[in-house]
Amino acid sequence: MGKVKTRFAPSPTGWLHLGNARTAIFSYLFAKHHGGRLVLRIEDTDRERSKKEFETAIIEDLKWLGIDWDEGPYRQSERFEIYKKYVDLLLEKGYAYRCFCTQEELEAEREKAKKEGRPYRYNGKCRHLSKEEIEKNLKEGKPYTIRFKVPDGREIVFNDLIKGEVRFNVNDFGDFVIVRSDGSPVYNFVVVIDDAIMGITHVIRGEDHLSNTPKQILLYEALGFPIPKFAHLPIILGEDRSKLSKRHGAVSVRQYRIDGYLPEALLNFLSLLGWYPKDGKEILSKEELIERFDLEDIHNAPAVFNREKLHWMNGVYIREVLDLDDLTQRVINYLKQYGEKLSPEDQKVAKEILKKPFGYVKEVVSKVRDSFFTLKEFPQRAKPFFLEEYTLSPEAEKQIEKATPEVAKNITQLFLEKVKKAETFGGEEFKKAAKEVSKELKLKPGMVFKTLRIALTGETQGVGLDLLADVVGKDSVIKRLERFLTLLK
RNA sequence: GCCCCCGUCGUCUAGCCCGGUCUAGGACACCGCCCUUUCAAGGCGGAGAUCGCGGGUUCAAAUCCCGCCGGGGGCGCCA
């Protein structure tokens, strides 16, 4: 294969969608696998809907995901001069013509076709306007679009790298618009010019573009450009098997970022939607993905987006892949950046976390890293390490009632004595003291631990208490126990 | 309606091109057991797909051929 060049061409009309992100990833992986280059091009010919904020956000999220490009970003809105040259060329050579039909007229046509149950196609009314008529219309200042003259009866056949041979009959669509009445060129047109000029060898995009391809091939031919290879990716589906969209919940990369997902995990997961490595290895770094990725291994059925598996995979990155320092730093950064999006309770914890030195946070992370799946879940999990003054959870209250407050008190008091007597108090001492209490009061160890858990954290479940004691130490343990005793009264 | 794409456990998928090794493999989720001071994590095991359906071809089909059905996408002066 010659020098590979791919492109990612988002339109800045919304946040970076998971489906588009996956297209970007595949384009990137493919280019890098073949030692090629990736171009980023912003498709903002639609002035109405394109927003600079979205462009900025998309770029940011791409970088966050770890996708970097070698050229661009180019903006189509800045290239209108270039496109104009080609419009003139097409007009001159008779491949295109001015169409003075109004939008109302066309709308009526469409309606009529629908009513009669036949497919709509532009009727070619302005195709054969005489020179005089055109001149007259022009002189009158009538607005016009420019349409491409679709040759009659052609069959377009191309070999899609994923779908295989695909055939379209050109008669299924009429002469299509390439320049709007406001003078701005349309996607189907500029995409061809840009891909050609920029030397794109492989056009990788969503399957929703498949039916645009024959129109574009016609344009390539008319313009005398070489035709690139096409690869149409199956789309991503929601749980109900329709195209993944907002009504399926979070669909933007940004939302997952806010929800505490790691870019590596999201990249990894998205890569596995419709593609599978030959060796079956699922947890893959960017480098490993590049090494293994090829278009041939793309499955051609659409894939349902499975949030649960993403969640699991993010957990794998948290507990197994990232090294401790890195993970800790990410937790801190996340809390700084998105802390205000957390629940009020988690925000309280987050505030405390950010007050602590890195080393302390790191120690906590090491104790709880196998029990949280997203960065967002960290404060909840790590709460006892940062908040000495808790409020009892309803479950905890219930349990104390059940065990009777007297028993809880006895356990706590005896345990407290032992803590006070100890020189230092860490995990080992904790276990030893708890067992002694159990023996001396003739209570089941489970009962003792349950009570102490509530006394120390206010919760009925959470991290190992020995781990907690290890980190917070003797003074904090005493403080909590004494406070619990006052809570019992 | 027309055009195009797709169809293996609930989900992601391996296998399909080059028929037998597939009593269809792995992962997530699910269930059980173990570990255990709880929740997780981890270890072990289990259930789960007559390979959309129906015909062929063949000694043999998830794998090749045909038809049907089902799902999805596209039919714009959106991309």
Picking from A135, A212, A124, A134, the residue whose alpha carbon sits closest to that of residue A175 is A124
Q: Residue A242 has what pLDDT? A: 84
Instruction: Tell me the pairing of strands A177-179 and A202-206.
Output: unpaired
Question: How far is A489 from A476, CA to CA, in rounded Å?
Answer: 21
A163 CA, B23 C1': separation in Å? Answer: 33
Q: Of the candidates A458, A460, A446, which has an alpha carbon nearest to the alpha carbon of residue A488?
A: A458
Report the DSSP pairing between strands A164-169 and A155-160: antiparallel
Judge whether A69 and A23 are in contact, CB under 8 Å. no
A429, pLDDT greater than 90: no
What is A306-340 written as a DSSP string?
Answer: -HHHHHHHHHHIIIIIS-HHHHHHHHHHHHHHHGG
pLDDT at A260: 97
pLDDT of residue A489 exceeding 80, the answer is no
* Cβ proximity of A334 and A260 under 8 Å: yes
Over range A362-379, report the average pLDDT.
96
Give the per-residue pLDDT at A1: 56
pLDDT recorded at residue A247: 82
Q: Are residues A263 and A321 in contact, defined by beta-carbon separation less than 8 angstroms? A: no
Split at pLDDT 50, 70, 90, the class of A233 is: very high
Does position A152 have pLDDT exceeding 90, yes or no? no
In this prediction, residues A106-122 reach a mean pLDDT of 80
Evaluate whether A233 touches A207 at the Cβ level (below 8 Å).
yes
Q: Is A117's pLDDT higher than 80?
A: no
How many other C-beta atoms lie within 10 A of the C-beta of residue A320? 10
A388-417 confidence digits (pLDDT tens): 999 888 989 888 888 888 899 889 999 999
Q: Decide if pLDDT at A122 tops 90.
A: no
pLDDT tier at A2, thresholds 50, 70, 90: low
A470 touches strand B (CB under 7 A): no
Give the single-character DSSP code of A186. P
What are A281-307's pLDDT values in tens digits? Answer: 999 999 999 999 999 899 989 999 999
> Comparing A59 with A397, which gets the higher pLDDT?
A59
* Gap between the Cα atoms of A95 and A113, Å rounded: 26
Please, is A123 exposed, middle or buried when counting C-beta atoms within 10 Å of its C-beta (0-12, 13-18, 19+)? middle
From CA A206, how far away is CA A84, in angstroms rounded? 27
Domains of chain A in start order, with CATH, are 5-74+187-234 (3.40.50.620), 81-179 (3.90.800.10), 246-318 (1.10.1160.10), 323-383 (1.10.8), 394-488 (1.10.10.350)
Is A99 annotated in some ligand binding site?
yes
In this structure, are residues A261 and A64 in contact, taking their beta carbons and an 8 Å threshold? Answer: no
> Can you tell me the mean pLDDT for A459-469?
93
For residues A267 and A286, the answer to whether their CB atoms sit within 8 Å is yes
Residue A248 labelled as part of a binding site: no
Tell me the pLDDT of chain A averaged across its residues: 92
Known binding residue A128? Answer is yes
How much of chain A, in percent, has pLDDT values that exceed 70?
Answer: 100
Q: Would the annotation count A202 as a binding residue?
A: no
ipTM for this model: 0.93
Mean pLDDT, residues A18-39: 96
Strand B near-CB residues (< 7 Å), A 185-224: 186-188, 207-212
Alpha helices in A236-277 (DSSP H): 253-258, 263-271
Angle of helix A427-440 versus helix A445-457 axis, rounded to 10: 130
Q: Which of residues 136-175 of A touch strand B (CB under 7 A)?
A: 143, 145, 163-169, 172-173
What average pLDDT score do residues A330-345 get? 96
Share of residues in chain A with pLDDT > 90 (%): 70
- Give strand letter and number of the nucleotide nearest A173 (CA to C1'): B75
d(CA A343, CA A382): 15
Task: Say how far A365 CA is from B78 C1', in Å.
Answer: 47
Cis bond before residue A73 (omega within 30° of 0): yes
**Strands lying side by side in the sheet with A177-179:** A96-99, A145-148, A177-179
Quick one: DSSP state of residue A128?
A: G
Mean pLDDT of A460-473: 92
Instruction: Name the pLDDT band for A424 (thresholds 50, 70, 90).
Output: confident
Sort strands A155-160 and A202-206 into parallel, antiparallel or unpaired: unpaired
Q: Whose CA is closest to A267, among A8, A15, A26, A58? A: A26
Tell me: pLDDT of A44 over 80.
yes
Which three-class secondary structure state does DSSP give residue A478? helix
Residue A118: pLDDT above 80?
no
pTM of structure: 0.93
Distance A345 CA to B44 C1' (A): 39
Mean pLDDT, rounded, for A106-131:
82
CA of A142 to C1' of B78 (A): 24
Place of tokens 């040759």: A151
Active site residues of A: 246
Bases of chain B within 7 A of a CB of the protein:
1-8, 10-16, 25-29, 37-42, 71-79
For residue A80, pLDDT beyond 70: yes
- Mean pLDDT over residues A229-237, rounded? 93
